[in-house]
Structure 1
């Protein structure tokens, strides 16, 4: 069953972010809805990775919800949460792909005491991502 919790992000260059997330992290475009008045703005996009998904759109200030969100560079690069993505397969290759595509590696690839391995990275607009092989559903 696909995940029922889906992170939602905003990007100043949403189309560029979609390209980066697909190239660097292996996401796939499921749906991208561009603003009819300005083809550079993204009203809504859905990117999948395995059974998971992230949704994203362009930074805007014309909706009530938009007032609740800030970008990492507006809060000194800090985040209150990050997307955690379970990688099924070669995590070292995933790490190298991300690094070679320009992801800023925050925590290098590391084997974890509790099982699996992981690393964390920032995308070009500073959003924090964690990728690992640990599958919390496997212990349920």
Structure 2
């Protein structure tokens, strides 16, 4: 039996989507699963998180009546990772802005960073509370 893929996809828009994709791969460790472009415009990109899940993104396209008019730089996400300290160092070396250094919280260890578009990313060891299956 195969496990279904993610059923909820956080999405964001970017002023420079190709650069943001490279950044998210290099700095945070996402993996490109699909990127569809028209010249320099990213129509759709799917980035996978190695531990499961991922995000979808595309270029902001207000000039052509963007059907998904999210403002670049307004996204935020919490991403589960095994080693926030290592991710922090990798991300800073790749050009991320550090907002909160790795620290122990009541529910695990976490850090918070900002990407070049202004989006906020929190990485931590907290996996969320167990949910009973129906």
TM over 0.5: yes
Q: Deviations over 1:82-120 (max 9, x none)?
A: 111001x2221111101111101111111011x211111
Which position in structure 2 is the counterpart of 1:65? Answer: 67
Say yes or no: does 1:45 pair with 2:45.
yes
In the superposition, the TM-score normalised over structure 2's length comes to 0.86
The number of residue pairs the alignment matches comes to 126
Which position in structure 1 is the counterpart of 2:87? Answer: 94
- Give the unaligned 5+ runs of structure 2: none
SS at match of 2:110: strand
- Structure 1 outlier segments of 4+, above 4 Å: none
Which position in structure 1 is the counterpart of 2:8? Answer: 5
Which position in structure 1 is the counterpart of 2:19? Answer: 16
Comparing 104-113 with 41-50, greater Cα deviation is found at 104-113
Higher helix content, 1 or 2: 1
Q: Deviations over 1:55-80 (max 9, x none)?
A: 000010123524x42233xxxxxx4x
In the superposition, the TM-score normalised over structure 1's length comes to 0.82
Whole-Å separation in 2 of the counterparts to 1:29 and 1:12: 18
Superposed CA RMSD in Å reads: 1.6
